């Protein structure tokens, strides 16, 4: 078990015999005990050491215990402050207690067991305040981190929303362009079924059959024509072009595989009537 002192206590009293009595009383306790004979000396010690608890006598020359502890509170607000005072001085220090200059006062002469118990409680209070402070800092850091995450997420959402808007605009433009093509055009899936047709294709009949989304190309074209389109469907070629007869007219059939990010996802089939 670690026996290294966790806390440091400063006792301030202008009477050396009082300091000696405190040293004897607390010599077996597991904390560092420092002493000073004046408030000024106590402040000098605190400037070079981390002090967790200060126990000060009230009646001291030059600087009273209340004045000393008020300065301690101003400079080292986290340090716990206890004042030792006599019965006749209680009324004069109540205001300082209410103002927070003093955590607690103990009457002289003190009871040894009571003094040890009060010191223990004061140090526990110090540890609790430190834990709360550390927790507050951690929560503040997490909140700041969460705030940054939310900002980053908001930026990402805006970017994604803008990207989707552009994609939707591009799709809408593509749809409009597709619908307005001057030739009959069909979007064909990998299963050779029609998934999209434009205005010209809607007005075209093949073998007295209207072109309907969901139907297979095999319902409109002969086995010979389908065989000639097979290299494109099997990814052996990106495009093929051939003549087909529709309603006694010759059409140029062009089958093209989709490219870019749509590669492998379908085909475009166009039918253009051959002039002459």
Mean pLDDT of 120-126: 93
Cβ-based burial of 159 (10 A; exposed 0-12, middle 13-18, buried ≥19) = exposed
CATH fourth-level superfamily of 8-136? Response regulator (3.40.50.2300)
What's the pLDDT score for residue 32? 92
Q: Give pTM, 2 decimals.
A: 0.55
pLDDT tops 60 at residue 140:
yes
Reported confidence tier of residue 99, pLDDT bands at 50, 70, 90: low
Average pLDDT along the chain: 89
Mean pLDDT of 51-75: 91
Give the contacts of 238 (CB within 8 A, at least 6 positions apart).
232, 256, 257, 259
DSSP 195-252: EEE-HHHHT-EETTEE--TT-BGGGTS-HHHHHHHHHHHTTS-SEEEEEEEETTEEEE
CATH 3.30.450.20 assigned to domain 180-273? The reply is: yes
Domain residues of the chain, as ranges?
A: 8-136, 180-273
Give the model confidence (pLDDT) of 213-228 as tens digits: 999 999 999 999 999 9
Element (H, E) at 273: strand 267-273
Give the model confidence (pLDDT) of 146-193 as tens digits: 999 999 999 999 999 888 887 777 777 767 778 878 899 999 999 999
pLDDT tops 70 at residue 18:
yes
């Amino acid at each position: 078990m670690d026996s290294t002192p966790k806390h440091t206590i400063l006792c301030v009293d202008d009477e050396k015999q009082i300091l000696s009595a405190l040293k004897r009383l607390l010599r077996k306790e597991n904390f560092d005990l420092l002493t000073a004979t004046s408030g000024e000396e106590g402040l000098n010690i605190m400037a070079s050491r981390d002090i967790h608890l200060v126990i000060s006598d009230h009646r001291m020359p030059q600087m009273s215990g209340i004045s000393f502890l008020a300065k301690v509170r101003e400079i080292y607000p986290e340090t716990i402050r206890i004042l030792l005072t006599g019965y006749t001085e209680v009324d004069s220090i109540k205001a300082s207690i209410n103002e927070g200059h003093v955590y607690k006062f103990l009457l002289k002469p003190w009871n040894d067991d009571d003094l040890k118990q009060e010191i223990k409680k004061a140090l526990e209070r110090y540890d609790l305040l430190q834990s709360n402070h550390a927790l507050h800092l951690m929560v503040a850091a997490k909140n700041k981190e969460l705030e940054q995450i939310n900002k980053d997420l908001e930026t990402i959402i805006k970017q994604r929303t803008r990207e989707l808007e552009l994609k939707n605009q591009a799709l809408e433009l593509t749809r409009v362009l597709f619908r307005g093509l001057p030739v009959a055009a069909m979007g064909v899936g990998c299963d050779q079924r029609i998934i999209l047709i434009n205005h010209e294709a809607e007005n075209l009949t093949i073998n007295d059959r209207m072109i309907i989304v969901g139907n297979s190309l095999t319902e409109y074209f002969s086995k010979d024509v389908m065989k000639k389109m097979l290299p494109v469907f099997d990814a052996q070629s990106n495009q093929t072009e051939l003549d087909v007869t529709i309603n006694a007219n010759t059409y140029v059939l062009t089958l093209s595989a989709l490219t870019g990010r749509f590669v492998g996802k379908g085909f475009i089939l166009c039918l253009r009537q051959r002039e002459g």
